[in-house]
Structure 1
Amino acid sequence: MGGNKRLAINMIANVIAFGVQFGINFVLTPYIIKTLGSEAYGFVPLANNFIGYVNILTVALNSMSSRFLTIEINRGNTRQAQVYFNSVLMANTVMAAILAVPSVLLVAFAGRVMNVPEGLLQDVQLTFAYALLGMEISLVLSVFGDVFYVKNRLDLSAKRNIESNVLRAVILVGLFAIFRPRIWFITGTMLIVTIYLSCANIHYTHKLTPEFKIDRTKFSGKTVRTLLSAGVWNSVNQLSMVLLTTLDIYLANIFIGAQASGEYSLVKTVPNFIQSLVGVLVGVFIPQFTISYAKRQKRQLLDQVDFSIKVMGYVMMLPIGFLLVFGEDFFRVWVPSQNSQLLQQLSILTILPMVVTCSINTIFNVYTVTSKLKVPALVLLFTGIGNTLAVIVLLRFTDLGLLAIPLVSFAIGLIRNLTFTPVYAAHCLGVRNGTFYKAIARGCGCVVIMVLCCLVYHSLFRTDSWPTLILAAAVCSVIAGAMNLFLAFGKADRQMLWRLVASKVIRRS
């Protein structure tokens, strides 16, 4: 199958999968908050964040496994690919056994490492127990998920994700309907989903890459060291992302209280959805980047990176621009029991940096593909430490409260992504330093057009219900999308997109 066709199939499948996940979370979140309260709900993202803290230790090995497997398979080195597969599997098993000890201690002493309301301690302990058990299972079997990247079959991964999200929704709604609501229902359901996904990954690995067989004789300590040395900077990146994006809920819990951390976790729900969509779209391009790099097709790699930037800027301007204008109306309708004005203020500070980062998000993976990770990792770590220290100082010595967290993140993120990120990405690809500033300007322009369309619509029509909000999103997206088609894409890109759409229509006819 051609590269462009496979890219289109992967993108459509992954967007559908994301849409299903978003829809389920979108419906369930206000129901969970109404049933349990924002204070209790805040411990669910906090538990997930703790898993992110643990992943700092594991990402060095696992972040690079798909890259090395893809390169070896596409270069015909099947035996070496088998060594990578078995080495990662066995090393992850050992790490899972070691991490079981601090996981048990965290569950046992949950009330001492965070602020937990008196009546919620047992529920919080179970919430963390199920989340951490799911992490252990995912860690041991994570290498089986690499098959979708190795074979560039992200459509199968998307299908699996759709099935798992439907399963999650059915089980979770059933538990809330039959039993007294508990917050551990959420992570308990995710544990079931993790088991399902792991079984599906094993099935597809045997089906698509039968050469990957469990064989202890193919374990290589040298291979593990190679992966660790290549991926250690990804661990540094993970630490930096924790300092920049996920430690904030824990800091809110410690310095302000459980209620504040619950409110802030609610604020981050929508920006996290946007970031998840970015991750879905970026993930579609990574296999092609890696395959082109493995085949030493530099010109093709540059074209793929350039096209991916255009697509990201065009697509991501829609939700960002809409929420910047309609955010308060959205929160008022979505979670009517909460302070929609405060949520919107916090949300704007969280979303604004995405105006810059979303369009150039794919170039972050250029560091991984080209294995040039040290410098961006150190820069990210430095800004992460600065972010955390600044937040702690503002929380302790000012009256900004929750506003301090997104305010600092906004300032630091904007400075980093307007200075270092585009310049170093250009260096990795061997192009001019200013190459990606055009992409940043293009993405910002797309957002500006969407915001203007939304402002005009908002001044003319009421948006105080789901039907009116959906209608506003549809109208503004169509108008801005048509206008931005000429801003985001050149003539050749538009002609290619038109031929792709036309061929599909003709074939169906």
Structure 2
Amino acid sequence: MKFTINFSANLTAFLLSVFLSVWMTPFIVKTLGVEAFGFVNLTQNVINYFSIITVALSSVVVRFFSVAAHRGEQEKANAYISNYLAASVLISLLLLLPLMSAAFFIDRVMNVPQDLLADVRLSILIGSLLFLLTFLMAGFGAAPFYANKLYITSSIQAVQMLIRVLCVLALFACFTPKIWQIQLAALAGAVIASILSFHFFRKLIPWFSFKLKDLSFRVSKELFQAGTWNSVNQIGVLLFLQIDLLTANLVLGASEAGKYAAIIQFPLLLRSLAGTVASLFAPVITSYYSKGDMDGLVKYANQAVRLNGLLLALPAALLGGLAGPFLTIWLGSSFSSVAPLLYIHAGYLAVSLAFMPLFYIWTAFNQQKTPALVTLLLGAVNVVLAVTLSGPAHLGLYGITLAGAISLVLKNVIFTPLYVSRITGYKKHVFFTGMFGPVFAALFAWAVCEAIQLCITIESWTSLIAAGAAVSCCYAVFAFMLVCTKEERQMVLKRFRKTKGAVNI
């Protein structure tokens, strides 16, 4: 029941983010221009490089707190949060100078037109405050995770998105539109989200209190040591996710980077959806580990991979199968020529993102050294391939996309299930079995997309939405009848009857 509520809230937040991206991106591109739009994401990418430092704490505090709290060790859990808060304040103060330096010297590390330089610098400064605020508040995310009430986190994210959009509209209407106003709007949303996060933390964890006596070098050292490999992993993650735009800027120029920044949003949203859905399984995985139930953990993780794959297969197939008409309707006919980029993104993401729930197994086991080193290595491979294929090989944006596809498949589809099977002590093939159904379902949905385009011409939002709805219905029937197990079909029907009965009453 909790999973259903959490998933519904996360799906709602995701659909809201999709709607806002579809609506806001053409507005911002037309207002600021394609070249300037590219720096909206690029400036945030520069700031995110500093997460290499902060992730050492923020990535492990939720895990340590939850394990201690599940075991009834409230004093220990209290100490973890207290030490995190103190350390995060100190680290934030130390990061102010390098963040300001990044803003001042930004024109020395990327191609920035002179007329945009001041706006880009101010955008980085405001974005730095947003980054530090997010870091400071990360510890309060432990409460919804521990209580398995992740719908609270999703609801806060939805409020944050709405405030950001409203602030962008207000700033653009009242002042001359600038890049930095988008970061200022995001900061306003983050402030409100922080207030809400603190409120729910106090409500869900009423026994927590910040005490100076809980501050301990030993506890802080424990968190830092556990998070060290997460910092190494974060370097790899940044090389995977946030090097493509910089590569496009440096190798292909600001204009190509701006075009890529526009179309990459939906692959990034799909990655975000995958991460959000995968996180729904994390509290139960952590709980199984805390109780020492390895058979239950492995069985649940297999189900998580399978369900995650089914949930992601449909949006991935829609993204790839309807890429051409979608880009034409959304951003104009000039973008239809880059639709094959979305074909590539949709294809490899449909397979590779399904395995993301397994990340929480090595987090629960606190076995993060090997994944961190592999992520770093493959992140470096991604950079080398992206530069080589986009530049010397003359593949342009396609080279950058292919580099990401190769690297992520190696990491998620091959390494992840094999490594998790090793640390759990189970057979190597055990975590691969859940992927066959989702892959067939994705291929089916993509084929339906192509069949619809052979029958009708999609040239408006109405026809695009209708096509998407038709594909979704066909996918639902296919998945229910041919992919879901008998037990899963019975469970769905039981919940449907219960919902129908409640409505009739």
TM-score range, shorter chain: over 0.9
Contact preservation (8 Å) 1:314, 1:485: no
How does the TM-score come out when normalised to structure 2? 0.96
Matches within 5 A, 1:5-24: 5-24=1-20
Over 3 Å counting, the alpha-carbon distance change for 1:396 and 1:473 in structure 2 is: closer
> For each residue in 1:134-180, what CA deviation from the matched residue of structure 2 results, as whole angstroms up to 9, or x when unmatched?
11122223212221112111111222222222222221112222222
Q: Which amino acid aligns with 1:248?
A: D
User: In the alignment, residue 438 of structure 2 is paired with which amino acid?
Assistant: G
- In structure 1, the residue matched to 2:342 is 347
User: How much has 1:489 moved relative to structure 2?
Assistant: 2.0
| Counterpart residue number, 2:73 | 77
Contact 2:53 2:231 survives alignment (8 Å): yes
Q: Which residue of 2 aligns with 1:55?
A: 51
Distance in 2 separating the partners of 1:454 and 1:396: 33
1:267-302 residue CA offsets vs partner (Å, 9 max, x unmatched): 211101111111221121111211222122333322
Q: 1:481 aligns with which of 459, 470, 476?
A: 476
Is the counterpart of residue 195 in structure 1 residue 205 in structure 2?
no
Distance 2:314 2:295 in 1: 30
Judge conservation of contact 1:360–1:439 (CA < 8 Å) in 2.
Answer: no
Identify the residue that residue 393 of structure 2 maps to in structure 1: 398
The residue that corresponds to 1:45 in the other structure is 41
AA aligned opposite 2:403:
V
User: Structure 2: how far apart are the matches of 1:492 and 1:430?
Assistant: 27
| Distance apart, 1:205 and its partner CA | 1.3
The 5 Å alignment of 1:32-431 reads: 32-336=28-332, 338-342=334-338, 344-431=339-426
In 1, Cα distance between the equivalents of 2:494 and 2:279? Answer: 24
* CA shift for structure 1 position 116: 0.8
> Which amino acid is 2:249 matched to?
N
User: Which residue number in structure 2 is paired with residue 452 of structure 1?
Assistant: 447
Paired residues of 2:355 and 2:413 also in contact (CA < 8 A): no
Contact residue 321 and residue 447 of structure 2 kept, 8 A: no
Cα deviation, 1:244-285, whole Å, max 9, x if unaligned, reads 221111121122221121111112111011111112211211
Q: Report deviation, 1:119.
A: 0.9
- Per the alignment, residue 501 of structure 1 pairs with 496
Contact kept in structure 1, 2:288 and 2:297, CA below 8 Å? yes
C-alpha separation between the residues in 2 aligned to 1:401 and 1:123? 28
Bigger shift: residues 410-419 or 468-477: 410-419
Label 1:281 to 1:309 Cα distance change in 2 as closer, same or farther (>3 A).
Answer: same
The answer to whether the 8 A contact 1:310-1:488 is kept is no
Change in CA separation of 1:211 and 1:338 when aligned onto 2, cut-off 3 Å: farther
Q: 1:210 and 1:421 mapped to 2: Cα distance?
A: 37
Decide whether aligned partners of structure 1 residues 502 and 167 sit closer, same or farther in structure 2, where only a CA change above 3 A counts: same
Shift of 1:55: 0.6
Q: What is the identity, as a one-letter code, of the residue corresponding to 1:465?
A: S
Q: 1:173 to 1:64 in 2, by over 3 A?
A: same
1:203-259 per-residue CA deviation (whole Å, 9 max, x = no partner) reads 111111122222222111111221122222221221111112211111211222211
Please give the alpha-carbon distance, in whole angstroms, between the structure 1 residues aligned to 2:210 and 2:434. Answer: 44
Which whole-Å CA distance do the structure 1 matches of 2:491 and 2:422 have between them?
Answer: 29
- Per the TM alignment, residue 396 of structure 1 is displaced from its structure 2 partner at its CA by 4.1
- In structure 1, give the amino acid aligned to 2:496: V
When structure 1 is superposed on structure 2, of 90-99 and 305-314 the one drifting more is 305-314
Coordinate RMSD, CA, aligned? 1.6
Deviation at 1:306, TM superposition (A): 2.1
Gaps of 5+ in 1: none
Contact 1:83 / 1:218 at 8 angstroms: preserved in 2? Answer: yes
Q: Find the aligned partners of 1:418 and 1:362 in 2 and give their Cα distance.
A: 12
Q: For residue 493 of structure 1, report the CA deviation from its aligned partner.
A: 1.8
The one-letter amino acid of 2:445's match is M
Give the distance between the partners of 1:488 and 1:426, measured in 2 at CA.
Answer: 24
1:439 partner amino acid: G
Between stretches 269-278 and 407-416, larger displacement belongs to 407-416
Could you report, residue by residue, the CA deviation over 1:349-394 in whole angstroms, capped at 9, with x for unpaired residues? 2222112112222112211122221222211211111221222233
Indicate the larger mover: 84-93 or 260-269. Answer: 260-269
- Partner of 1:284, secondary structure, is helix
Partner Cα distance (2:443, 2:431) in 1: 19
What number of residue pairs does the alignment pair up? 504
Q: Distance in 2 between matches of 1:114 and 1:305?
A: 42
Separation in 2, partners of 1:66, 1:501: 34
Query: 1:477: how far off?
Result: 0.9
SS of alignment partner, residue 366 of structure 2: coil
- Counterpart CA distance in 2 for 1:54 and 1:171 is 26
- CA distance in 2: counterparts of 1:97 and 1:337, whole angstroms: 47
- Residue identity (%): 29
Whether the 8 Å contact between 1:93 and 1:139 is mirrored in structure 2 is no
Contact kept, 8 Å, 1:278 with 1:316, in 2: the verdict is yes
| Structure 2 portions without partners, runs of 5+ | none
Question: Which whole-Å CA distance do the structure 2 matches of 1:147 and 1:417 have between them?
Answer: 29
Classify the secondary structure of the residue corresponding to 2:380: helix
The whole-number CA distance in structure 2 between the counterparts of 1:430 and 1:495 is 32
Q: Distance in 2 between matches of 1:408 and 1:162?
A: 32
* 2:428 alignment partner AA: N
Give the 3-state SS of the residue equivalent to 2:178 in structure 1: coil
**Counterparts of 1:357 and 1:418, CA distance in 2:** 5
Letter in 2 for 1:125: R
Deviation at 1:337, TM superposition (A): 6.0
Closer/same/farther in 2, CA of residues 444 and 464 from structure 1, 3 Å limit: same
Measure, in 2, the Cα distance between the counterparts of 1:364 and 1:61.
17
8 Å contact from structure 2 (residues 317, 443) kept in 1: yes
27, 44, 59: which one aligns with 2:23: 27
Pick closer, same or farther for the CA change 1:65–1:488 going to 2, 3 Å. farther
Over 3 Å counting, the alpha-carbon distance change for 1:408 and 1:433 in structure 2 is: same
